[in-house]
């Protein structure tokens, strides 16, 4: 049952938070055949398997899908599940821990320019790495003329919290959602781009109406700051709003409506606690920071996001859906007039890394039970029956019920 809200959600109790270290590492079970949600019974069909740690997908105009594999490959998956050989022309990546080849996106005018964008963990000097954004032209043989057009600075050691989601706004500007590379304090320092959302022209140059252009000591690419690790981002094409869901520490995953020049408070505030058990001040104690629209404890570990616009799930039109890695499912956020009216967790019994809407309104997800490891591509579409009109038991093997 969807949880109706009266204002923002309140963080879970310390007892719930204390349980997160266990629940976040639970390994999922087998694929479900169908799942009962608040508004529909949804069929789940495996289309392709054997993908190597898949991370992102983007639909081509002909219905095929570009899929990134974190070790460094980009492949094309056909609607019948056929997987191509790795495409030529991809960049060298740091394929360690959370790093690798990550997001893929098509230029808004892809039909005429064939331009695609990739983000990845780029190796640096002295064992460092950082997120990089590049683009090239998709051809029958691979990617032609790939070049890096923007780099997160500075590169640091470690292979955590790269973020990496590419979103194009309604005006054609490119938003890139980033992590703070598990460095904490730099997310509050405007001289770097750790823990930020940056806004770029499609060639990687800086739009002159960005909030910090021309200000000494402030990186002009920054659109918003004070973020922890963003692997879920989407633009609502109806309103133009940019939404991100970011991972909290122990507790405190956040859904944020990103505003120009907004500071979202990490690591000064959070609804969660640090991994060592120490407290973090509550966001309400620091009103100068932008507050989240919703918090989750226990965490969901958001990855991949859409604002649904299709016809197959009419009751979900205008809602946010994102993959839940540690929770093993899909989170649906019911938006009413741009405000969060409720949330529903849809259990899928596996880690959902990516979620996209297909041309016909079906929902497609990338799964992987662990990283590195094998992953699959699933297609979700409604069955003819809804929960309130089902004429019998829906608890057969392979059907996941909400809350279980």
Pairwise CA distance, residues 280 & 267, whole Å? 8
How far is Cα of residue 279 from the mean position of the Cα atoms in its chain?
26
Average pLDDT over residues 197-216: 98
Q: What does the pLDDT average to over 138-161?
A: 97
Note the pLDDT of residue 388.
53
The answer for residues whose C-beta is within 8 angstroms of residue 284's C-beta and 6 or more apart is 291
- The CATH-assigned architecture of domain 54-228 is 6 Propeller (2.120)
238 to 33, 51, 142, 228: CA distances (angstroms): 33, 34, 34, 27
pLDDT for the residue numbered 384: 57
- Using CA atoms, how far residue 62 sits from 113, 244, 385, in Å, is 15, 28, 30
pTM of the predicted model as reported, rounded to 2 decimal places: 0.89
Catalytic residue among 107, 161, 227, 294: 161
Model pLDDT, residue 19: 36
Would the pLDDT of 224 be above 90?
yes
- Give the pLDDT confidence score for residue 371 in this predicted structure: 78
pLDDT score, position 369: 81
The domain segmentation of the chain, as residue ranges, is 54-228
Q: 113-133 pLDDT, tens per residue?
A: 999 999 999 999 999 999 999
Sheet-wide strand order for 222-225: 163-168, 174-178, 196-200, 222-225
- Predicted local confidence at residue 386, as pLDDT: 59
Average pLDDT, the chain: 89
Residue 278 contacts residue 285 (beta carbons within 8 Å): no
Decide: 252 and 11 in contact? Cβ < 8 Å: yes
Surface-to-core class of residue 198, CB atoms within 10 Å of its CB (0-12 exposed, 13-18 middle, 19+ buried): buried
Tell me: the pLDDT tens digits for 22-70?
Answer: 333 334 446 789 999 999 899 999 999 999 999 999 999 999 999 999 9
Q: What value, to the nearest 5°, has the Cα angle with vertex 72 and ends 67 and 73? A: 45
Q: Where are the beta strands (DSSP E) in 24-154?
A: 34-36, 41-52, 54-59, 65-69, 73-77, 101-106, 115-123, 128-139, 142-151
Report pLDDT digits (tens) over 75-101. Answer: 999 999 999 999 999 999 999 999 999
- Rounded (5°) CA angle 25-152-242: 70
Instruction: Indicate whether 385 pLDDT > 80.
Output: no
pLDDT at 244 over 80: yes
Task: Return the closest-CA partner of residue 286 out of 198, 226, 222.
Answer: 226
- Identify the pLDDT of residue 6: 30
Residue with tokens 């590169």: 155
Model pLDDT for residues 326-367, shown as the tens digit of each residue: 999 999 999 999 999 999 999 999 999 999 999 999 999 999
What's the mean pLDDT in 277-298? 97
Q: Is the pLDDT of residue 136 over 70?
A: yes
Does residue 25 carry a catalytic annotation?
no
HSE-CB for 298 with a 13 A CA cutoff: 17
With 60 as the cut, is the pLDDT of residue 192 above it?
yes
**Which of the pair, 386 or 396, is modelled with greater confidence?**
386
Residue 125 CB neighbours (<10 A): 6
Query: What DSSP state is assigned to residue 285?
Result: G
Q: For position 400, what pLDDT does the model report?
A: 37
* Cα distance between residue 77 and residue 397, in whole Å: 29
Summarised one tens digit per residue, pLDDT across range 301-319 is 999 999 999 999 999 999 9
Count CA within 13 A, CB hemisphere, residue 34.
Answer: 17
């Amino acid at each position: 049952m969807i949880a109706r809200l009266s204002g923002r959600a309140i963080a879970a109790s310390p007892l719930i938070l204390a349980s997160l270290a266990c629940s976040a590492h639970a390994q999922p079970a087998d694929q479900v055949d169908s799942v009962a949600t608040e508004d529909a019974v949804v069929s789940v069909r495996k289309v392709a398997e054997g993908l190597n740690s898949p991370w992102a997908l983007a639909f081509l105009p002909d219905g095929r899908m570009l899929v990134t594999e974190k070790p460094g490959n980009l492949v094309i998956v056909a609607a019948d599940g056929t997987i191509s050989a790795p495409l030529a022309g991809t960049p060298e990546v740091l394929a360690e821990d959370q790093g690798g080849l990550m997001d893929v996106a098509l230029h808004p005018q892809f039909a005429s320019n064939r331009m695609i964008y990739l983000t990845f963990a780029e190796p640096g000097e002295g064992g460092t790495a950082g997120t990089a954004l590049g683009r090239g032209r998709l051809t029958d043989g691979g990617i032609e003329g790939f070049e890096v057009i923007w780099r997160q600075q500075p590169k640091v050691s470690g292979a955590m919290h790269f973020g990496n989601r590419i979103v194009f706004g309604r005006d054609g500007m490119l938003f890139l959602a980033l992590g703070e590379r598990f460095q904490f304090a730099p997310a509050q320092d405007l001289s770097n781009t750790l823990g930020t959302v940056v806004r770029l022209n499609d060639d990687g140059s800086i739009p002159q109406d960005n909030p910090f252009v021309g200000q000494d000591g402030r990186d002009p690419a920054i659109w918003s700051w004070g973020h922890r690790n963003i692997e879920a981002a989407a633009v609502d094409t109806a309103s133009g709003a940019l939404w991100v869901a970011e991972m909290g520490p122990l507790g405190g995953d956040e859904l944020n409506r990103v505003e120009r020049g907004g500071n979202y408070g990490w690591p000064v505030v959070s609804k969660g606690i640090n991994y060592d058990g120490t407290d973090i001040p509550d966001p309400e104690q620091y009103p100068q920071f932008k507050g989240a629209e919703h918090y989750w404890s226990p965490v969901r570990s958001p990855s991949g996001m859409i604002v649904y616009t299709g016809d197959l799930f009419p009751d979900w039109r205008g809602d946010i859906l994102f993959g839940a890695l540690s929770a093993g499912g899909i989170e649906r956020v019911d938006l009413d007039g741009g405000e969060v009216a409720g949330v529903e967790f849809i259990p899928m019994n596996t880690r959902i890394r990516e979620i996209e809407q297909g041309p016909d309104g079906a929902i497609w997800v990338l799964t992987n039970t662990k990283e590195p490891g094998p992953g699959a591509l699933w297609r979700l579409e409604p069955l003819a029956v809804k929960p309130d009109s089902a004429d019998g038991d829906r608890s057969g093997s392979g059907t996941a019920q909400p809350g279980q």
